């Protein structure tokens, strides 16, 4: 039998604490930038690891089970201990310099602030890039690039990491043929219809 302590993923523990804070999967997914089915799968994975059900889904949202209530406090302590351990180790890392590029309407200030707190000796800068200037990463003008679609980077020259899943919603008039549908695919649109994203607004990371 595997040792539970080595088989418990910290990210699953974090997902649980966020759901426990809101007692609502919808609000938890907004904080975690995850789609609700993805969060449900991760909570199920945690349940499999623990061997007990930490949460019950109810009409009003979610509630902690007796096991979940007992697990919550040590779960939060575990996450804080892991954070402190990482900060202690990183304090010995040599100082470095990283320039982060970002494009479109992405707001990366909260993520950069957290990065600076984790690496106080590092020099971390940011640079806003216009859409047509995305090749700045491939040409070495920035060290890291935060972008929705990294297709412009030639294969083999970089490694892409998914930061979060961004849920999308379709807004249509009440009388539209897709109104009331729980989900849609591109094939559901009538001939001649186009799906456009509105300009403006920002998205934080």
Per-residue pLDDT at 202 exceeds 90: no
Domain map of the chain by residue range? 4-90, 97-152
| C-alpha angle 39-45-49 in degrees, rounded to nearest 5 | 145
pLDDT at 154 over 60: no
- Residues whose CB is less than 8 angstroms from the CB of residue 138 and which lie 6 or more positions away in sequence, other chains included: 152, 153, 154, 157, 158
Residue 186: pLDDT band (50, 70, 90) is: confident
**110 falls in which pLDDT band (50, 70, 90)?**
confident
Long-range contacts of 183-186 (CB under 8 A, 24+ apart): none
Q: Is the pLDDT of residue 158 over 90?
A: no
Measuring CA to CA, which residue among 194, 111, 98 is closest to residue 141?
A: 98
- Tell me the three-class secondary structure of the chain, residue by residue: CCCHHHHCCHHHHHHHHHHHHHCCHHHHHHHHCCCHHHHHHHHHHHHHHHCCCCEEEECCEEEECHHHHHHHHHHHHHHHHHHHHHHHHHCCCCCCEEEEEEECCEECHHHHHHHHHHCCCCEEEEEEECHHHHHHCCCCCCCEEECCCHHHCCCCCCCCCCCCCCCCCCCCCCCCCCCCCCCCCHHHCCCCCCCCCCCCCCEEC
The pLDDT of residue 170 is 80
**pLDDT-derived band of residue 129, with 50, 70 and 90 as boundaries?**
confident
- The average pLDDT across 118-132 equals 80
CATH topology for the 4-90 domain: Arc Repressor Mutant, subunit A (1.10.10)
Highest-scoring range by mean pLDDT, 1-15, 23-37, 178-192:
23-37
pLDDT of residue 171: 82
Q: Among 187, 168, 188, which residue's Cα sits nearest to residue 179?
A: 188
pTM across the whole model: 0.51
Q: Which two tokens stand for residue 204?
A: 């934080």
37-41, 44-48, 102-106: the lowest-pLDDT one? 102-106
Judge contact between 164 and 203, C-beta under 8 A.
no
State the average pLDDT for the chain.
81
For residue 25, what pLDDT is reported?
92
Report, as an integer, the average pLDDT of 6-20.
Answer: 89
- pLDDT at 111 exceeding the cut of 80: yes
Report CA-CA distances (Å) from 98 to 24, 50, 54, 187.
37, 39, 40, 43
């Amino acid at each position: 039998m595997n040792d539970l302590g080595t088989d418990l993923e910290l990210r699953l523990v974090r997902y649980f604490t966020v759901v426990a804070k809101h007692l609502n999967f919808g609000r938890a997914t907004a904080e975690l930038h995850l789609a609700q089915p993805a969060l449900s799968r991760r909570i199920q994975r945690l349940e499999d690891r623990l061997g007990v059900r930490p949460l019950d889904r109810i009409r009003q949202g979610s509630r902690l089970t007796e096991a979940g209530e007992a697990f919550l406090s040590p779960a939060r302590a575990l996450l804080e201990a892991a954070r402190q351990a990482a900060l202690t180790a990183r304090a010995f890392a040599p100082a470095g310099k990283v320039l982060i590029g970002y494009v479109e309407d992405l707001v990366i200030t909260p993520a950069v602030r957290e990065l600076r707190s984790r690496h106080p000796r590092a020099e971390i800068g940011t640079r806003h890039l216009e859409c047509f200037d995305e090749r700045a990463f491939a040409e070495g003008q920035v060290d890291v690039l935060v972008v929705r679609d990294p297709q412009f980077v030639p294969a083999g020259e970089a490694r892409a990491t998914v930061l979060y899943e961004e849920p999308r919603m379709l807004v249509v008039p009440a009388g539209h043929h897709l109104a009331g549908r729980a989900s849609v695919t591109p094939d559901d649109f009538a001939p001649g219809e186009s799906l456009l994203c509105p300009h403006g607004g920002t998205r934080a990371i």
